[in-house]
Structure 1
């Protein structure tokens, strides 16, 4: 049977377990806990390997919760082959240290309601390179770098296949405690906590951390059982306090009782054998239980199915044939298009002169339109204002003046008058304003010297845009119905009477250059 070595370390001690493994059979051949002086892990490991003659051995490394970033993730139900890519994408968004170069692995804990719950962990490339370098110096071949709490939990769950309900596994290290909560034989929660160095305070602190861990994973009552890794004679006080705190059945389990361990090895085991439980679990899971581990050397990846040679030939030859066929049709189509292009070019050449003449005609028409845009029909505008204006009991007009902008088109109609109440002005502005007319006033001003009831003076400016003038002009370009048709409006100048409103207006128009504005002044009396 091949020999394998499981190791892990912290700041104070190096732990190792050697075994001969074949399938589910694990035979422990050596186990030790070696103190580390001044944090010098590399020489300590190198000496331990040389003393035991374990060079060139496959090494299974267990790392603590503090060296990896761990998160609970929930993802929508997807096929298993797509899950690794989704986990990695989510980890890059959710983990602080999970960049593009980080190694991410996960363990599914629950599937329900179209949701997958899992524990996901990430380790940066620097940490992995450091671990591999330490093993390389010690002449070891690194095979796995797994999360330590899950390795210990897999050892117990693999050897107790009938347990149900909630199980809490506690591994007491030199300065830390690793707490794992499993429900129905599936790990749902992992936590590593620091413990005080004073032995009298460790049990009390452990009880408090266990309670917080159960609350954090959503437990509402006492767990079905609590498993404490180690020897019963060493952890008597811990058992008593954990039983009183949780009300559960607390058991102490020696990890070496779950595998094949010779008597000579058992006699040399260290006092705190519980610290070696993750290493024993890692050896047992190496060949047949790797699916229960989070392994950063062998993270879960999308499974790429190999295709048969026939399918591969079809996949390669099919696209080539399709490209050749598409190329033939493309060439034929391009030839037809070239012939069509030649015909179109000839037709375009024949149309060039008519298009050029039409462009000149359009340009001349546009200049005429720009000139006519300043020809505002002020009588129509006055008729519209009269229709929208309040009655004479509340509003009068004392003067009206119209100014046309011959350069830009359109014009402005200015009204000056009086009202009995400022609210009448607001109503008048609201009635006049629409999509084609804007009205702006300077507000109402009270005239204390006024002898009539129109004590509030106003000045309103109604703007008529050029596009509105052009729209009305084109709407009026209709053929005459008969040769004797009467003109629609009277000639410029003279006296005009609006019979419907009773307004008499004297209109005078002063024209200047085409580049100057045309001003029309109208005096009206109601």
Structure 2
């Protein structure tokens, strides 16, 4: 069982709790006190913060032990950073690299830690990163050294409070926490039991309760607006207040009117008593002790839910081959000793070979590790590329399979991708010389075994110009099937096999074509030839009439309603 002390201070006042903790057991709190930091007379030399804190701790007789220091939100910089999907062992380096661009003055001397956030609806990965400056770090270490304490952890205040709420069963769903500190009010939003957003603002000590309530409600509205911009489900159903009694009821009523939901005023001291052994009386202004009480335990830091600047998230340690290599050396030495002087020369030669082979093995292992890392990166990029749609290829395919411009003209193309359903959509609107060309378009573009299907909404006759009807068709592409075909083509290229034949419903772009006097493409099928003849006959009829007036319903070459393509 060890002695633990948790401290939180500002330039005028310090909050301290101390007691005994045992790994795996309930913490035993023996002292909880808040005191003003002592100052010297005006005639004496001013005391430093470290000297004031050390003198105050000595006056309170808290003793020595492992120290956990709480840093307020205003003492750290925080950012939500978007990161690529990388393995866990590479995430710390990625976060450090991204933070150097997101934080304005971050250097190698800053202490940085992060916690992962739930991904967005579009799959984008995010982390909540926090950093404290070298000046803050030097101040914390100087205060602990002056007081004779061993610095064990430096926690950000909202995450220490989250520990207390989690142990007391109050941390679930979307939660707004409002805390009244000495000179500031701190707002924290939790989502899915994790810190999502935190900010603080100063309040005047001379301000009335009504003024503080109005200022706090305004800051809460701005904080909730920022939270909704970052999260699709940005509704807050519960609010907890850790404030003094005069402010509690007016603020609770204002919150119920402003955002609704359940509003509850809680005392951190009462929450702590349910999960620990308490051997002292509650301190004055116990509503300000949530962070120091939450950090008072012997639990190991959880990188997934807590920010601890002394124990930040690090990549896992690489496996060591030291024991195995040591056993190999011992075996070689034992073998050489048993051989004796008679085989001394041969043993020396073999030992040299063993050393060379070991060096070669280590070099090969390094190369192999680098190759695996590179292949993992290539695989991530390849998977991302395979899931995309190459619209250039799709437009080229569309151009190859459409009839001639004399028969079809496109007026509008709409391209879209549904990542959730894994479907790409290509919408076409245009005009055709006659309605039979719509059937040709559907037959040429449909390829069911390629995951391509086409359907039309309507065909509208028109008598304007040389195009006698308008059409509206939608081509859908199954991205999963398209990815399978690309993989088959890729594997066929690796094995040297021939390309797969053109699927049913498709047109071989290398099939020979012939051009008649009018530029029409003569296909091998009788059906397309018949349609060309009908088109030529319709054109001959137009030339015979010698007029541009619209054709009557009886003389129109439009097919009957039951002849339109489905």
TM-score of the two chains, using structure 1 as the length reference = 0.56
Aligned to 2:216: 206
Greater C-alpha radius of gyration:
1
SS, match of residue 297 in structure 1 = coil
Tell me how far apart the structure 2 counterparts of residues 232 and 324 of structure 1 sit (CA, whole Å).
68
SS, match of residue 240 in structure 2 = strand
**What is the Cα deviation at residue 294 of structure 1?**
1.1
| Alpha carbons 2:26, 2:277 under 8 Å: kept | no
Aligned counterpart in structure 2 of residue 94 of structure 1, from 91, 102, 109:
102
**What is the Cα deviation at residue 285 of structure 1?**
6.8
Unmatched tracts of structure 2, length 5 or more: 40-46, 329-353, 365-566
Structural mapping, 1:238-317, within 5 Å? 238-260=251-273, 265-266=280-281, 268-270=282-284, 272-284=285-297, 286-287=299-300, 289=302, 291-309=304-322, 312=325
Aligned to 1:70: 78
Count of residue correspondences: 322
Structural mapping, 1:323-472, within 5 Å? none
TM-score of the two chains, using structure 2 as the length reference = 0.52
Aligned to 1:133: 142
| Alpha carbons 2:213, 2:247 under 8 Å: kept | no
Tell me how far apart the structure 2 counterparts of residues 145 and 83 of structure 1 sit (CA, whole Å).
21
SS, match of residue 168 in structure 1 = strand
Tell me how far apart the structure 2 counterparts of residues 121 and 213 of structure 1 sit (CA, whole Å).
18
Structural mapping, 1:9-28, within 5 Å? 9-22=9-22, 23=24, 25-28=26-29
Aligned to 1:173: 181
SS, match of residue 263 in structure 2 = strand
**Does residue 1:34 correspond to 2:49, yes or no?**
no
Aligned counterpart in structure 2 of residue 54 of structure 1, from 59, 62, 67:
62
Distance 1:27 1:253, change over 3 A: farther
Distance 1:324 1:237, change over 3 A: closer
Aligned counterpart in structure 1 of residue 227 of structure 2, from 217, 225, 230:
217
Distance 1:211 1:285, change over 3 A: farther
Tell me how far apart the structure 1 counterparts of residues 271 and 356 of structure 2 sit (CA, whole Å).
57
Q: Considering only aligned residues, what root-mean-square deviation do their CA atoms show, in Å?
A: 3.0
**What is the Cα deviation at residue 221 of structure 1?**
6.4
**Does residue 1:229 correspond to 2:242, yes or no?**
yes
**What is the Cα deviation at residue 41 of structure 1?**
3.1
Aligned to 2:130: 121
Aligned to 2:5: 5
Tell me how far apart the structure 2 counterparts of residues 316 and 10 of structure 1 sit (CA, whole Å).
60
**What is the Cα deviation at residue 233 of structure 1?**
6.9
Aligned counterpart in structure 2 of residue 184 of structure 1, from 187, 192, 200:
192
**What is the Cα deviation at residue 96 of structure 1?**
1.3
SS, match of residue 151 in structure 1 = helix
Aligned to 1:423: none
Unmatched tracts of structure 1, length 5 or more: 326-526
| Alpha carbons 1:77, 1:114 under 8 Å: kept | no
Tell me how far apart the structure 1 counterparts of residues 63 and 111 of structure 2 sit (CA, whole Å).
27
